[in-house]
């Protein structure tokens, strides 16, 4: 591998960087155990990257890849780099993220690509066609269940993208489910652009080599894409309300609720992860916790300003850039509503429509917390701590009851 890099450096053509070989080297042993000679070589390359000739897009991609590949080497491993969030093209990368359709489309494309990739890995592993993450392969029953749940999770986005006939009946038996999953993978692959495919491949650098970590990473990436979409919806809702358009605000809140509800089957998919597999690979993910999810905390803080004790707890100290935005006065839906009421700008109908939408979003968000808590408690045990330096499951138990709006 080091030789391949040295050969590439003699030409130093950015677009010809041997990504596939580097990713293979990582996936063979897991990010935690990558050969230090290779890491030193990559770190040295990073130092000279800015001087290399090439397209700015290629430059940006390699910079992003090295950011995630060298996180453990630099001792700055965290949730963003574990999931390679900077490499994936989500709603915030839409040509105009404030354009509802554009942001939704980016989220849909990424969701179907991530789910199809999970299923392809499961099918390949079952057929003995891949040596990636070889430890603790699941049995046929689990693979079949993952195919069924993956199909269910991808269906709404697939339909919106025009990649599946909404009237197509789900196939109930086991072999039919595997065939449908393989068909989904083919359809999505044909629709995926080469640059999207490359980014997908670069965004899978597991900490270890246990099969189920693949599913774990991809499901987290799917949820992150949904949270990013929610953040766009809520930002637009605050703007709508501030500009005297409560119905627009309610529409965006309803879209946010629908987006979060639609992501719920991903929890069922993740629940097929074996507890012992999770407990084994999480030894190497210490330091990367979803408590560091910026999009999740932005969503929370766009609903209402967090109470001082929450803002001064691990919840927000783990996302300093979001905390800074809150302290700088991030506008919230709660705040916009109070201002509109104080200025007597809401008609009874407008207020009612908005109240229903807020109620709907609040219920969906609390439901998300509840499902997440149950899954975490099952995987970790009631009192086990998390990887984000909180007391773990008890932290989540308490966070369930934090009001979404005032």
Residues of this chain that bind ligand HEM (CB under 6 A): 219-220, 223-224, 270, 278, 289-291, 293, 296, 315, 372, 375-376, 379-380, 386-388, 390, 392-393, 395-396, 399
**Which residues make Cβ contacts (< 8 Å) with residue 196, sequence separation at least 6?**
89, 109, 113
Which residue lies nearer to ligand HEM by CB, 223 or 361?
223
Phi, psi torsion values for 243, nearest 5 degrees: -90, 15
d(CA 338, CA 179) in angstroms, rounded, equals 53
- Cβ–Cβ under 8 Å, residues 67 and 80: no
Which residue lies nearer to ligand HEM by CB, 153 or 181?
153
Q: Which of 8, 80, 83, 82 is nearest to 38 (CA)?
A: 8
Q: Which of 316, 154, 158, 337 is nearest to 234 (CA)?
A: 337
Which residue lies nearer to ligand HEM by CB, 62 or 220?
220
- Cβ–Cβ under 8 Å, residues 289 and 79: yes
Looking at the DSSP bridge assignments, the partners of residue 210 are: 135
Which residue lies nearer to ligand HEM by CB, 178 or 396?
396
Using CB positions, name the residue nearest to ligand HEM.
386
**CB of residue 255 vs ligand HEM: minimum separation in angstroms?**
19
**CB of residue 289 vs ligand HEM: minimum separation in angstroms?**
3
**CB of residue 112 vs ligand HEM: minimum separation in angstroms?**
18
**CB of residue 275 vs ligand HEM: minimum separation in angstroms?**
9
- Total count of residues recorded for the chain: 406
Which residue lies nearer to ligand HEM by CB, 21 or 371?
371
Which residue lies nearer to ligand HEM by CB, 180 or 318?
318
Phi, psi torsion values for 27, nearest 5 degrees: -70, -20
**CB of residue 382 vs ligand HEM: minimum separation in angstroms?**
11
d(CA 91, CA 107) in angstroms, rounded, equals 5
Q: Which of 270, 322, 67 is nearest to 149 (CA)?
A: 270
d(CA 317, CA 99) in angstroms, rounded, equals 31
Phi, psi torsion values for 110, nearest 5 degrees: -65, -40
Which residue lies nearer to ligand HEM by CB, 41 or 399?
399
**CB of residue 229 vs ligand HEM: minimum separation in angstroms?**
13
**CB of residue 4 vs ligand HEM: minimum separation in angstroms?**
35
Which residue lies nearer to ligand HEM by CB, 80 or 353?
80
**CB of residue 230 vs ligand HEM: minimum separation in angstroms?**
11
**Which residues make Cβ contacts (< 8 Å) with residue 156, sequence separation at least 6?**
262
């Amino acid at each position: 591998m080091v030789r391949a890099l040295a050969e590439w450096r003699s030409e130093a053509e950015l677009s010809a960087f041997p990504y596939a070989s580097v990713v293979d080297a990582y996936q063979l042993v897991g990010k935690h155990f990558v050969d230090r000679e290779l890491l030193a070589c990559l770190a040295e390359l990073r130092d000279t990257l800015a001087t290399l000739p090439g397209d700015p897009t290629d430059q940006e991609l390699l910079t992003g890849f090295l950011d995630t590949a060298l996180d453990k080497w630099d001792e700055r491993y965290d949730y963003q780099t574990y999931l390679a969030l900077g490499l994936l093209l989500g709603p915030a990368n839409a040509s105009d993220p404030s354009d509802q359709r554009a942001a939704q489309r980016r989220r849909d494309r990424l969701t179907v690509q991530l789910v199809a990739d999970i299923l392809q890995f499961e099918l390949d592993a079952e057929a003995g066609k891949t040596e990636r993450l070889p430890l603790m392969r699941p049995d046929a029953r689990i693979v079949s269940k993952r195919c069924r749940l993956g199909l269910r999770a991808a269906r709404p986005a697939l339909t919106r993208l025009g990649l599946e006939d909404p009237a197509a009946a789900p196939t109930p038996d086991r072999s039919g489910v595997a065939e449908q999953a393989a068909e989904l993978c083919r359809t999505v692959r044909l629709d995926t652009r080469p640059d999207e495919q490359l980014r997908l491949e670069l965004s899978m650098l597991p900490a270890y080599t246990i099969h189920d970590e693949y599913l774990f990473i991809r499901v987290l990436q799917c949820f992150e894409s949904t949270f990013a979409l929610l953040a766009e919806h809520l930002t637009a809702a605050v703007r709508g309300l501030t500009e005297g358009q409560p119905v627009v605000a309610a529409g965006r809140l309803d879209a946010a609720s629908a987006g979060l509800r639609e992501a719920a089957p991903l929890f069922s998919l993740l629940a097929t992860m074996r507890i012992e597999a999770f407990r084994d690979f999480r030894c190497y993910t210490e330091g990367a916790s979803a408590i560091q999810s910026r999009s999740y905390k932005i969503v929370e803080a766009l609903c209402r300003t967090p109470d001082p004790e929450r803002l001064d707890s691990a919840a927000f100290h783990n996302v300093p850039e979001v905390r800074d935005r809150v302290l700088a006065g991030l506008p919230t839906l709660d705040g916009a509503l109070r201002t509109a009421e104080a200025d007597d700008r809401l008609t009874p109908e407008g207020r009612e429509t908005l109240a229903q939408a807020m109620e709907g979003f609040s219920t969906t968000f609390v439901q998300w917390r509840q499902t997440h808590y149950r899954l975490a408690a099952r995987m970790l045990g009631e009192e086990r701590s998390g990887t984000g330096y909180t007391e773990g499951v008890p932290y989540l138990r308490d966070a369930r009851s934090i009001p979404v709006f005032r």
